[in-house]
């Protein structure tokens, strides 16, 4: 049994330097053909990176946004980083100016994508930390504390994913064959992923495992990202088109489905990448357990059920084209919801860093 046998993959999100440093994102739109990094010095570039899915996956979006708060506040403290510096006589930005800018940055980044609640969770945690310190600290000290908070959000996600992996791996017998959708791996988090952390942990424990990977139309996060990640870590995996999942289950090739989530309502209804709901229905029809893996930061207890989860609608080109190549007739109407909601009753269990919620009900 080994702790971890493979070299670490490049981080999806990295911060370079101290509080006046910058973000480095692994550009996931270029994977798997190119491993390229994007240096991000301002919130406008970060906004575009989140919207274009250069950085994606609920926890990774939250981590990037937390650092984004620091990027957005930097011009108040470093003259070279921005022209609009408003300081009082002691060289500090005025507290009102600081909090006004903080609110602007929060609102701006919050508009980048609507469904993954980790984005709002991280932004709100940053703002709450600043408010907590407002009575006793100068803006520059609050800024340093916010940088520490972003680093903590990043660091905590590593441990959270490992804990999800440990709890989930208990559900996997040696020799299991499972199916996953989209990418809920290291590329979507700080390190090991949520659903994929379960597979990596089982692998670390010496269990043999086979993973079917849904290609995940329209943007192919399964074919491009999960397939790449599993291959990099030496996991035995097979790629299928989304429409093949039913046949694969019918042939008895899958003993469990494991996906991530972008937002889980108080009753356990879970939003995840479009196609997840169909998989849950198929899994029920074939008596295959269907598990969702997600951290506490993906739960939205303000929403009683999944009907109120905002579903992101994305551009028609993502469906009418494949990797920039037109496949549908020009002028064809397209509907492109990026997520769907799986009702709690179709979910066998939700694997969190605290353990497995099973059955999935509002009481858990
Ligand atoms: O549109 P994406 O690629 O950001 O969608 C990602 C997913 O649906 C993931 O399954 C989810 O965010 C969980 S990531 C641990």
Give the mean model confidence (pLDDT) for residues 129-148.
Answer: 96
Residue 7 has pLDDT above 70, yes or no: no
pTM of the prediction? 0.95
- What is the Å distance from ligand 1's center to 286 Cα? 25
pLDDT of residue 78: 81
Q: What is the pLDDT of residues 169-184, one digit of tens each?
A: 999 999 999 999 999 9
56 lines ligand 1 (CB under 6 A): yes
Give pLDDT, residue 4.
43
In this prediction, what percent of the chain has a pLDDT beyond 70? 94
Question: DSSP 3-state assignment of 289?
Answer: coil
- Of the listed ranges 3-7, 63-67, 119-123, 213-217, the one predicted with least confidence: 3-7
Task: Give backbone dihedrals phi and psi of 326, rounded to 5 degrees, phi first.
Answer: -60, 130
- Is-catalytic flag, 262? yes
pLDDT bucket at 36, cuts 50 / 70 / 90? very high
Tell whether ligand 1 has an atom less than 6 A from the beta carbon of residue 225.
no
347 Cβ contact list (under 8 Å, min separation 6):
268, 270, 280, 290, 291, 292, 360
The reply to whether ligand 1 has any atom less than 6 angstroms from the CB of 214 is no
Asked if the model's pLDDT at residue 186 lies above 90, the reply is: yes
For residue 121, is the peptide bond before it cis, meaning its omega torsion is within 30 degrees of 0?
no
| Confidence label for 93 from pLDDT (cuts 50, 70 and 90) | confident
Catalytic residue among 262, 269, 300, 340: 262
Query: Is residue 101 scored above 90 in pLDDT?
Result: yes
Do the bridges between strand 22-26 and strand 299-300 make them parallel or antiparallel, or are there none, so unpaired?
A: unpaired
Give the residue carrying structure tokens 């981590």: 63
Site to probe by mutation for ligand 1, drawn from 262, 276, 353 as the one with most ligand atoms within 8 Å of Cβ, is: 262
C-alpha 72/C-alpha 239 separation (Å) is 40
Question: Ligand 1 in contact with 117 (CB < 6 A)?
Answer: no
Task: Tell how strand 263-265 and strand 209-214 pair up.
Answer: unpaired
Helix intervals (H) in 58-135: 58-77, 95-110, 117-133
Under 8 Å between Cβ of 302 and 268: no
Mean pLDDT of the chain: 94
Q: What is the pLDDT of residue 364?
A: 59
Over range 19-43, report the average pLDDT.
98
Ligand 1: distance of its center to the CA of 231 in Å?
A: 19
- pLDDT tens digits, one per residue of 294-335: 999 999 999 999 999 999 999 999 999 998 999 999 999 999
């Amino acid at each position: 049994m080994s702790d971890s046998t493979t070299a670490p993959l490049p981080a999806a999100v990295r911060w370079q330097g101290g509080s006046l440093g910058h973000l480095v994102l692994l550009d996931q739109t270029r994977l798997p053909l190119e491993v390229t990094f994007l240096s991000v010095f301002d919130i406008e570039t970060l906004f575009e990176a989140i919207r274009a899915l250069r950085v994606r996956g609920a926890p990774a979006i939250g981590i990037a946004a937390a650092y984004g708060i620091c990027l957005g506040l930097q011009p108040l403290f470093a003259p070279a980083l921005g022209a609009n510096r408003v300081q009082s006589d002691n060289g500090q930005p005025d507290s009102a100016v600081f909090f006004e800018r903080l609110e602007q940055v929060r609102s701006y980044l919050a508009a980048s994508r609507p469904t993954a609640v980790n984005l709002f969770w991280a932004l709100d945690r940053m703002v709450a930390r600043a408010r907590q310190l407002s009575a006793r600290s100068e803006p520059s000290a609050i800024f340093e504390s916010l940088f520490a908070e972003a680093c903590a959000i990043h660091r905590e996600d590593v441990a959270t994913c490992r804990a999800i992996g440990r709890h989930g791996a208990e559900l996997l017998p040696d020799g299991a064959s499972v199916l996953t959708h989209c990418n809920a791996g290291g590329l979507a988090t700080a390190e090991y992923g949520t659903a994929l952390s379960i597979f990596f942990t089982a692998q670390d424990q010496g269990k043999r495992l086979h993973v079917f990977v849904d290609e995940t139309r329209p943007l192919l996060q399964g074919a491009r990202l999960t397939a790449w990640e599993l291959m990099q870590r030496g996991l035995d995996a097979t790629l299928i088109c989304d429409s093949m999942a039913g046949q694969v289950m019918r042939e008895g090739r899958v003993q469990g489905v494991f996906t991530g989530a972008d937002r889980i309502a108080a009753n356990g209804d879970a939003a995840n990448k479009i196609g997840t709901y169909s998989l849950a229905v198929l899994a029920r029809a074939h008596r295959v357990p269907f598990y969702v893996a997600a951290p506490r930061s993906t739960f939205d207890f303000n929403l009683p059920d999944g009907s109120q989860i905002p579903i992101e609608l994305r551009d028609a080109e993502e469906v009418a084209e494949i990797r920039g190549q037109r496949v549908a007739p020009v002028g064809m109407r397209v509907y492109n919801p990026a997520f769907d909601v799986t009702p709690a009753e179709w979910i066998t269990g939700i694997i969190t860093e605290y353990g497995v919620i099973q059955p999935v009900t509002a009481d858990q």
